[in-house]
């Protein structure tokens, strides 16, 4: 009886959140405060994606990718969240076109925001195997998208189906990475960024939940520990015990610290409970629980893990379907994920 009541209340909470979100977006003052770039027309490219694309040309593509990701994650579990992050960074610039994988001077990969990205060797290994079994068939963009899904599953997260057919982009520019969130933005800036990619406030809060696993560099958080906004004092919103913990862990900017200090290796809703306890690692994490547009969603997701898992799948599908007109129209199937074909 109690479980039924909780689920009912949780469902009603989510319905309420969606209603609030819709009314907020319809509020002229709210819309005026956001500067959202116009979206390209991507519908035609989404229509080109297919669940059966490789059924005949590379029937075991998903099995090959999963086996390789499993091998790598077994050797190094930290690669699971790294592959998820690599996928996000790829889709954040020019859509999901594997432009983050291109390795040349001035590429996205060379940008400051990309310096802590990992997992490139995993994608290269998968690509090499697929070129043996199905040459010139599977794009690096589809490989990265699928590897991120499999990494999520191996970390204890949900499974979702993926349509295929993304092309590999031929352009990768470091200067275009400047809009990618780095952990210091305001909630309004984050909403603007997500909306510019066709994602909404719910997607923002849900995808931030990926911080239930993985690590961040101490460089990203040191300003909160010692000199918050030039005050020479720590961020007053940090739990005092958590502040002491972070100061012990982050004596050097080059060190790494878990994004979820409570259950760092478990894909769960503890991330949202941490926010309630003022234990969000990045400024952008903790701000989710202090803004009226995001706090109700974080609260609702913390009630029941199945709600988070289900919505995480939905938001990841939306993320993977971000496609850029130019990248897809002029795209290719790379033979080597690190460089364009010639």
95 is in an annotated binding site: yes
Residues counted in the chain: 342
Q: Is 192 annotated as a binding residue?
A: no
Is 291 assigned to a binding site? Answer: no
Alpha-carbon separation of residue 140 from 39, 148, 324 (angstroms): 24, 12, 15
CB 280 within 8 A of CB 184: no
Long-range contacts of the stretch 155-161 (C-beta < 8 A, 24+)? 155/73, 155/77, 155/80, 155/81, 155/213, 155/267, 156/266, 156/267, 156/268, 157/267, 157/309, 157/312, 158/309, 158/310, 158/312, 158/313, 159/313, 160/313, 160/314, 160/316, 160/317, 161/51
263 labeled binding residue? yes
138 annotated as belonging to a binding site for a ligand: no
Q: Spot the catalytic one: 32, 55, 87, 89.
A: 89
Consult the annotation and say whether 108 binds a ligand.
Answer: yes
Residue 36: Cβ within 10 Å count: 13
Q: Say whether 47 counts as a known binding-site residue.
A: no
* Residue 196 assigned ligand-binding role: no
The verdict on whether 104 is a catalytic residue reads no
Is 317 annotated as belonging to a binding site? no
Which residues are designated catalytic?
89
Residues making up the annotated binding site for substrate are: 181
Residues making up the annotated binding site for Ca(2+) are: 90, 93, 95, 97, 99, 108, 212, 260, 263, 268
Residues making up the annotated binding site for heme b are: 211
Residues making up the annotated binding site are: 90, 93, 95, 97, 99, 108, 181, 211-212, 260, 263, 268
């Amino acid at each position: 009886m109690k479980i039924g009541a909780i689920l009912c209340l949780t469902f009603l909470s989510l319905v309420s959140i969606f209603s609030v979100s819709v009314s907020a977006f319809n509020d002229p003052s709210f819309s005026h405060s956001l500067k959202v770039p116009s979206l390209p027309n991507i519908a035609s490219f989404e229509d080109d994606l297919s669940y059966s694309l490789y059924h005949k040309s590379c029937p075991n593509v998903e099995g090959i990718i999963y086996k390789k990701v499993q091998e790598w994650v077994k050797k190094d579990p930290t690669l699971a969240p790294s592959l998820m992050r690599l996928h996000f960074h790829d889709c954040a610039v020019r859509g999901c076109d594997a432009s983050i994988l291109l390795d040349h001077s001035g590429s996205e990969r060379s940008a400051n925001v990309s310096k802590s990205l990992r997992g490139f060797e995993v994608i290269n290994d998968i690509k090499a195997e697929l070129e043996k079994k199905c040459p010139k068939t599977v794009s690096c963009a589809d490989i990265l998208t699928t590897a991120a899904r499999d990494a999520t599953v191996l970390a204890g997260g949900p499974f979702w189906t993926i349509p295929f057919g993304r092309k590999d982009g031929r352009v990768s520019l470091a200067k275009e990475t400047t809009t990618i969130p780095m952990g210091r933005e305001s909630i309004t800036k984050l909403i603007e960024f997500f909306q510019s990619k066709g994602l909404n406030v719910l997607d923002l809060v849900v995808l931030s939940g990926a911080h239930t696993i993985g690590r961040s560099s101490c460089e990203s958080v040191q300003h909160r520990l010692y000199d918050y906004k030039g005050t020479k004092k720590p961020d007053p919103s940090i739990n005092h015990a958590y502040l002491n913990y972070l100061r012990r862990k982050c004596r050097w900017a080059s060190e790494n610290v878990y994004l979820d200090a409570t259950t760092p290796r478990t894909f769960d809703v503890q991330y949202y409970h941490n926010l309630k306890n003022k234990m969000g690692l990045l400024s952008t994490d903790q701000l989710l629980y202090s803004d009226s547009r995001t706090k109700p969603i974080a609260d609702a997701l913390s009630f029941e893990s199945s709600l988070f898992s289900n919505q995480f799948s939905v938001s990841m599908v939306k993320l993977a379907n971000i496609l850029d007109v130019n990248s897809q129209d002029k795209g290719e199937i790379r033979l080597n994920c690190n460089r364009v074909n010639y």
